[in-house]
């Protein structure tokens, strides 16, 4: 009887089970799999949608960003309404996936990936890199080495994309592939742009590798870089060698470096600056602080908006602060410094008042 129920629930995947490389066994493996997606932007939207349609059992999705109008050109799960309502990308993805395949258990994390958040995750089968920057990619590579999991790397810029299945313990890691990764991490934002139609090609290859991994892991090559160019219309494969002197994978990973969290970043092509505040500072604390400072604000469950030293600021529930229209990074950092100093002073004064009350 259980088998019948199982077959019933697999019926919607009939056309995929007819593919002889997948079959019913492969589909059952896919149904039982949990996949971690890092990023819910362009690659993340497509990967999430394809995996949900293909019938993956569960998805864990990380992305700290909110939907903006410039995302809609390539991030297919979002709408103008999402952009207008400052929705978190992961929440918009979760809603879209529920309408596509309600059998997939989707858990979302509106945060940057970090080691502590990674440690809180349930066991998963595979991770997919859907980020747009090398800081998070490098962190994913380090986590994969320390906690021993495999991932599918993917990147897009202009008209060229790269994809590789990575088993960093046994095969080449991202540092072996990009010996200049430290320089790549410093590139603040990618102004090359991206051809809309490149995204489904790259994410299609990533999900192809993911389905192959979940169905027939032994057949996956972990040393093969696939490059694709959607202007010259070419696709090539290169063998990548493990570097015996690689800084990342030639020795055991003990300490994880997360050097991207507390840096001021500019949002690509805008004068909006973003930085994280202390994780203990929730929206309620921020509202109490603003009230005490007699600063007017508007608030909703996602964020608080206010003016600080003549600039518009938005503080989100995932602890991210946006500073709008700052003339440059130095001015944005000054705004951040004065705000955090005042917050700290207020919190210390509050603690002091509490301890004197309890002493009296």
> Using CB under 5 A as the criterion, which residues of the chain lie in contact with Zn ion when the complex forms?
173, 175-176, 246, 248-249
Task: Tell me how many degrees the CA angle 90-147-279 measures, rounded to the nearest 5.
Answer: 45
Q: Where are the alpha helices (DSSP H) in 72-158?
A: 80-84, 89-100, 115-119, 134-147
Q: Which is nearer to Zn ion, 137 or 320 (CB)?
A: 137
* DSSP labels, 213-229: HHHHGGG--TTEEEEEE
Minimum Å gap between C-beta 206 and Zn ion is: 20
Q: Which is nearer to Zn ion, 174 or 201 (CB)?
A: 174
Cα dihedral sign for 173, 176, 179, 184?
negative
Q: Which is nearer to Zn ion, 111 or 151 (CB)?
A: 151
Minimum Å gap between C-beta 179 and Zn ion is: 9
C-alpha–C-alpha distance, residues 358 and 199, integer Å: 59
Q: Which is nearer to Zn ion, 239 or 359 (CB)?
A: 239
| 186 closest CA partner among 131, 274, 260 | 260
Cβ–Cβ < 8 Å for 47, 202 = no
Minimum Å gap between C-beta 249 and Zn ion is: 3
| 106 closest CA partner among 97, 116, 115, 119 | 97
DSSP lists the bridge partners of residue 237 as: 226
Q: Which is nearer to Zn ion, 250 or 262 (CB)?
A: 250
Q: Which is nearer to Zn ion, 169 or 287 (CB)?
A: 169
Q: Is 206 exposed, middle or buried (0-12, 13-18, 19+ CB in 10 A)?
A: buried
Minimum Å gap between C-beta 240 and Zn ion is: 10
Minimum Å gap between C-beta 127 and Zn ion is: 17
Minimum Å gap between C-beta 175 and Zn ion is: 4
């Amino acid at each position: 009887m259980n088998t019948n129920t199982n077959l019933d629930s697999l019926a919607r995947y009939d056309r995929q089970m007819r593919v002889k490389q997948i079959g019913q066994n492969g589909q059952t493996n896919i149904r039982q799999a949990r996949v971690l997606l890092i990023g819910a932007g362009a690659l993340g939207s497509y990967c999430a949608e394809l995996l949900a349609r293909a019938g993956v059992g569960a998805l864990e999705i990380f992305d700290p960003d909110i939907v903006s109008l410039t995302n809609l050109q390539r991030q297919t799960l979002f709408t103008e309404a999402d952009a207008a309502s400052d929705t978190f990308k992961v929440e918009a993805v979760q809603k879209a996936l529920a309408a596509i395949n309600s059998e997939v258990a989707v858990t979302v994390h509106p945060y940057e990936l970090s080691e502590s958040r990674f440690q809180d995750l349930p066991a998963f089968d595979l991770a997919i890199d859907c980020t747009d920057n090398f800081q998070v990619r490098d962190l994913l590579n380090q986590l994969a080495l320390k906690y021993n999991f495999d991932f599918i790397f993917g990147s897009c810029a202009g008209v060229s994309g790269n994809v590789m299945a990575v088993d960093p313990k046994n095969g080449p890691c991202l540092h072996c592939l990009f010996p200049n990764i430290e320089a790549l991490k410093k590139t603040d934002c990618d102004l090359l742009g991206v051809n809309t139609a490149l995204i489904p090609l790259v994410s299609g290859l990533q999900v192809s590798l993911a389905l192959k991994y979940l169905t027939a892991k032994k057949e996956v090559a972990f040393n093969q870089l696939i490059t694709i160019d959607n202007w010259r219309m070419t696709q090539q494969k290169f063998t990548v060698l493990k570097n015996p002197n690689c800084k990342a994978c030639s020795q055991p990973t003990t300490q994880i470096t997360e050097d991207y969290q507390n840096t001021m970043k500019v949002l690509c092509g805008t004068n909006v600056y973003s930085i994280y505040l202390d994780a203990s500072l929730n929206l309620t604390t921020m509202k109490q602080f603003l009230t005490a400072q007699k600063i007017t604000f508007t608030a909703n469950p996602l964020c608080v908006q206010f003016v600080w030293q003549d600039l518009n600021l938005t503080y989100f529930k995932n602890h991210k602060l946006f500073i709008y229209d700052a003339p440059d990074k130095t001015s944005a950092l000054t705004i951040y410094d004065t705000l955090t100093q005042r917050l700290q002073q207020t919190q210390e004064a509050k603690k002091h008042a509490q301890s004197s009350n309890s002493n009296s």
